[in-house]
Amino acid sequence: MLRAPTLFEDAVKVLLTTNCSWEATRGMVTRLIGEAGLDGQAFPPPSAIAAMSPARLRSKVRCGYRAEALARFARRVAGGKLDLQEWENGLMPSESLRAAILEEHGFGPYAAESILRILGRHDYLALDSWVRKKYRQLHPGRVKSTDGSIARRYSRFGSYRGLALWLDLTRDWHEEGEDVWPRRDGEKG
């Protein structure tokens, strides 16, 4: 995962990935930059998004139900009620940090666990529809038991299970034949 210049930008972009295609997310981010970004090019600071009403975000950014969460999050950061440096504190246990992120309106398990991964914490799996679909393409099985199967397969990696999952699912993005991690004897793919 690549980091944006600020955790605020990362968190907003994760929020805009929920329940939609990558193309829709890209469109929302582009429109948000166009509406509130510095000179319409750089990602907007919290204060610029906080100045936008949820109705304007829905209308101009076309972020739908995410508008309220985005406006509230930007207001909390801009107003100093939420200090994102606390999220970047490496001393806070991942479980506590996940809980803190989940307290933010609009940030569910997928968003919280994605932000953890961005922060270099790989304890959680950040499961979404793309992960589930890609996993089943690589490891066929009953769709009904996908989450349990994912949890079992990557549990051996302990606090790096989220990273192992991500490397496995994106291995086709790497050079052909390159091993992402050592395999057990006889294990394929």
Q: Tell me, yes or no, whether 86 and 129 share the same domain.
A: no
> Does residue 12 sit in the same domain as residue 97?
yes
- Host domain of residue 129: 122-189
Band of pLDDT at residue 39, cut at 50, 70 and 90? confident
Cα–Cα distance list, 126 to 75, 111, 118, 137 (Å): 26, 7, 11, 18
The band of 161, judged by pLDDT with boundaries at 50, 70 and 90, is very high
pLDDT at 47 exceeding the cut of 70? yes
Residue 73 lies in a domain: yes
State the amino acid at position 76 in one-letter form.
R
The predicted structure's pLDDT at residue 96: 96
Same domain, yes or no: 86 and 165: no
Q: Same structural domain for residues 40 and 85?
A: yes
pLDDT at position 158 over 80: yes
Nearest to 112 by CA among 15, 22, 43, 28: 15
Q: Are residues 22 and 108 in the same domain?
A: yes
Q: Is residue 78 part of a domain?
A: yes
Confidence band of 102 (pLDDT split at 50, 70, 90): very high
Residues 70 and 91 reside in one and the same domain: yes
The mean pLDDT value for 124-135 works out to 94
Give yes or no: residues 100 and 27 share one domain: yes
Percent of the chain predicted with pLDDT > 70: 90
Is residue 1 situated within a structural domain?
Answer: no
Q: Which helix (H) or strand (E) holds 27?
A: helix 22-36
pLDDT > 90? residue 172 = no
Q: Are residues 141 and 105 in the same domain?
A: no
> Residue 49: pLDDT above 80?
yes
| Final residue before a domain boundary, out of 118, 138, 172 | 118
Domain co-membership, 65 together with 148: no
Per the domain annotation, does 2 fall within a domain?
no
In a domain, 131, yes or no: yes
155 and 99 co-located in one domain: no
pLDDT > 80? residue 174: no
54 and 138 belong to one structural domain: no
Please list, in sequence order, all residues whose beta carbon lies within 8 angstroms of the beta carbon of residue 67, skipping any fewer than 6 positions away.
Answer: 54, 55, 57, 58, 61
Share of the chain above pLDDT 90, in %: 80
Confidence of residue 56 (pLDDT cuts 50, 70, 90): very high
163 and 78 both lie in a single domain: no
- The gap from C-alpha 72 to its chain's centroid, in whole angstroms, comes to 18
| Average pLDDT for 87-93 | 93
Domain boundary among 71, 98, 118: 118
